A and B are shown apart, each in its own frame.
Chain A
Amino acid sequence: MNTTLGFAFTVLGLSASVLGCLGGAYALITNKTHLLKPVRQWAWLVFLAGVGAFVVMEVALFQRDYSVGFVQKVGSDATPPLYNFAALWSALEGSLIMWTLMLGGYIAAIMLKFKERLNDPLFGWALVVMLAVSGFFFALLVGPSNPFVDTAIPANFVGPGPNPLLQNHILVAFHPPMLYLGYVGFTVPFAFAIAALITGRVGEGWLVETRRWTVAAWGFLTFGIVLGAWWSYEVLGWGGYWAWDPVENASLLPWLTGTAYIHSVMVQERRGMLRVWNLSLLCATFSLTILGTFLTRSGVIDSVHAFADGAIGPWLLAFFAVVSGTSVGLIAWRGDRLRSPGAIDSPVSREASFLANNVLFGALAFVVLLGTVFPLLAESFDGTRLTIGRPYFDSMARPIAFVMLFLMASAPVLPWRKASNELLSERLFWPAIAAVGSMALAIILGGRGFYPMLTFGLGGFAAGAAVRQVVLATRRQGWRGFVGRTNGGMIVHIGVVLLAVGIAASESYKTDRTETLLPGQTMTVAGNTFTYEGLAADETSQRVKIFANVRINGDEVYTPGTSLYLTQGMNVATPSVKPGFTEDLFLVLDQVPDDRNPEGPVRLRVVVRPMITWLWIGGILMSVGTLLALFPGQRRRGTEAVSAAVTEPVPV
């Protein structure tokens, strides 16, 4: 029953997408507006199909309907409800269902948003592009990775359940959906970009239309990535939060180009410049979400959390080729209309800073992509097997990040067109004082070392510039000084500074120690004492957890352990973290006595990371800032349709 119904929904999604896409393209090419109406009905059916497939799969998971192939793969009698719900996105096929659900949701949302402009060719083409994309994903569900395969149930089958790593922390319920909302969300601006190219309306109109959609998608992606880092820290028990693993890199790539885009788009809105560049960035962002899916879902790259499945690899690669080929072709075709009408007057100006920002984000994206795919290239070139790990990425990203922090301080105070030295001196004075002040404070608190100190200084500088903008705006506009793109953006910047400080302090000043302890013995790490008080066990139907009772500083007891997931026979480390605003104490049980002898020695690893909590606070602040940026702000000057020369004097 569930298999038939679910499969019917995916077939409905595929057919409605294809019919809507072809019908829409025909109506738009032949200018037959009355034929556009059925396209919208097909689009609503796509939304319905996405919701239907999702609901059917969730129902099947809760009914433990093992005749559904996907449920047999990830379902289990023992999985608690929350993780059973989240099991839908714990493997490839289900995550594609989530993709189509969200894409259908975005399609429905833009139809509601543009309901008065449904016959506008710009909107029509955007809808056609989105239906083409949804057609591709439904085709994957119908063809090579069908989750609704009718499968014979082995005798006494109770199901393996999702990967144990995906069922021991609440963040599993939030991190993947957030990330996907971001990935899929970039389809909307991409569709409008393609529509602008096809209709030839490549002015600034489509940018203004999609601004909020882009910012929202970026916000989801940001939050999703931060939640992923947090999950990795709380669950994986390796003592860190970001491993430059291919799957992490795949999520970072579209984030980097997307971040470049939401900055450089302001140059186009304001001055009409960089049209080709902005279209390319947007198309690159969307293409990179597909390429990232290919790299991590086709099995070409091994990763801790890639779902290897060779079957859809060629499909994704072909789709990536079509998307990037179409984008490049259309941009070349519209080359004459895309010529920029303006020029940059001075390197010391807002627009020049945005350009420099783009070069930095582009360079970082290149380095991350290179480091991710280089082992593949090297192996196919001469069979060399090599590892590109954290030291490489760190050494490449560090200098770029420092220049970015510097630009975060200088760019927001710079006016458009050009700035005088006096103006710069005045506007940068307080941010510079903040920089000196934060360095001095860090030294008083015991901070040393070149790189962390540079981070604190540049962080203070950037935070100073952001606070200056918000203070001036609130003085002028009251509470509205916190909302709108500029002010919300500054809140995001403050979040970035906290994140940078959290990374610098927790990496530079971390202490990592492993010792073997007998019951009653104590180890001391960075001024904290850890007393091992004995081994204990805790058993549920799902898992057996063996844990050590460790008393920290003679006070509370923490319980790092390992859990044996019964249905999968897999052992998973379960770290225990004592968080704090000044430092986190991270405990991992490295080794228990073979016979679980409570009198025997255990190996305890303790990582002390100062200020890592500020990384999460920074990430949350970035999301809050994004929300504030989505509220309509008060514009001092309206958006100009073309770049007009700025004639009035620059306000001080």
Chain B
Amino acid sequence: MNSMIGRWLVIGLAVVGLLGFATFDSNEPETEGERIQRLHESFACPQCDGQSVAESNAAVAAEIRNSITNEVADGATDTEIRDQLIAGYGGDVLLNPPSEGFSALIWILPVVVAVFGVGGLVAVIRRDDGGSRTASDADAALVAEAREQS
């Protein structure tokens, strides 16, 4: 029993250690190129049905890419770039919907579903045994036949 706990302690420590190392060893500050790429990936090309401007070959995507690159060079913050693009191209330039007004529902509903899902799971697992355990003869015959065939 004790050896079992010890064994899993070692495994747990190894997992935490490796995960921690992999997480913090990579925490170099974001380069300007990486920041531009991240921003390109977070805005939609207005004419390409949900493709990001990083992925699209359309002219308007190239225009947005250039404007992001220029803004970054001018030292704008992410929020400033975001607001500027919304002002210029409308709210659907955001690939990630905003969390205010009606569109907040898209963030709230999954949480509601998750709560109900987990609640339902717990309820079913705790449910008492009820009902009968008899099958009709027809069921048994079907199973017998299916067994023969397989």
A residues near B (Cβ < 8 Å) are: 117, 122, 201, 203-206, 208-209, 237-240, 243-245, 272, 302-304, 339-344, 347, 352, 355-356, 359, 362-363, 366-367, 370-371, 374, 378, 381-382, 384-392, 395-396, 421-422, 425, 429, 432-433, 435-436, 439-440, 442-443, 447-450, 452-454, 457, 512, 573, 588, 590, 632, 638-644
Contact = CB atoms under 8 A, between A and B. Distances in A.
Given A384-B91, A389-B96, A432-B11, A641 B140 contact: yes
Given A448-B26, A457-B18, A639-B143, A386 B133 contact: no
A448 B25 contact: yes
Interface of B: 4, 7-8, 11, 14-15, 18-19, 21-23, 25-26, 37, 41-42, 44, 48-52, 54-57, 90-98, 101-103, 105-106, 109-110, 113-114, 117-118, 120-121, 124-125, 127-136, 138-143, 145-147, 150
Contacts of B56: 238
Nearest to A236: B55
Nearest to A447: B22
A443 B128 contact: no
Contact of A205 (B92, B120, B129, B138): B138
B117 to A, nearest CB: 4
B133 A341 contact: yes
A374 B106 contact: yes
B11 A443 contact: no
A339 B131 contact: yes
A443 B21 contact: yes
B97 A386 contact: yes
Contacts of A454: 19
Contacts of B49: 245, 302-304
Contacts of B98: 386
Contacts of A422: 4
Contacts of B44: 387, 389
B50 A370 contact: no
A302 B51 CA distance: 12
**What 4 A-B pairs have minimum CB-CB distances, sorted nearest first?**
A205-B142, A389-B95, A203-B139, A448-B26
Nearest to A352: B125
Nearest to A391: B96
Nearest to A439: B18
B19 A239 contact: no
Given A208-B142, A378-B103, A642 B133 contact: yes
A435 B12 CA distance: 11
A436 B18 contact: yes
A432 B8 CA distance: 9
B95 to A, nearest CB: 3
Contacts of B143: 204-205, 208, 639-641
A187 to B, nearest CB: 20
B11 A387 contact: no
Given A341-B132, A359-B120, A435 B15 contact: yes
A300 to B, nearest CB: 13
A546 to B, nearest CB: 14
A502 B12 CA distance: 25
A204 B135 contact: yes
B114 A363 contact: yes
Contacts of A343: 127-130
A340 B131 contact: yes
A388 B139 contact: no
Contacts of B55: 238-240, 243
A154 to B, nearest CB: 31
A206 B93 contact: no
A370 B15 contact: no
Contacts of B109: 366, 370
A271 to B, nearest CB: 10
A457 B132 CA distance: 44
B22 to A, nearest CB: 4
Nearest to B98: A386
Nearest to A239: B55
B8 to A, nearest CB: 7
Contact of A642 (B8, B41, B124, B134): B134
B23 A453 contact: yes
A243 B51 contact: yes
A443 B120 CA distance: 39
28 contacts: A117-B145, A203-B138, A203-B142, A205-B142, A244-B50, A272-B135, A304-B48, A304-B51, A341-B132, A344-B125, A355-B124, A371-B106, A374-B97, A382-B101, A384-B91, A386-B92, A386-B103, A388-B50, A388-B97, A389-B44, A389-B51, A390-B41, A392-B97, A439-B18, A443-B18, A443-B21, A573-B57, A641-B135
B36 to A, nearest CB: 10
B22 A453 contact: yes
Contacts of B21: 443
A201 to B, nearest CB: 5
Given A208-B143, A374-B97, A386-B91, A381 B102 contact: yes
A449 B97 CA distance: 26
Contacts of B138: 201, 203, 205
Contacts of A640: 143
Contacts of B90: 385
Nearest to B147: A638
Given A205-B141, A343-B127, A642-B133, 15 more contacts: A203-B139, A272-B135, A304-B49, A339-B130, A341-B131, A359-B117, A359-B120, A363-B117, A366-B110, A378-B103, A388-B106, A447-B22, A448-B22, A450-B23, A573-B57
Given A378-B103, A457-B18, A391 B118 contact: no
A640 B135 CA distance: 10
B102 A384 contact: yes
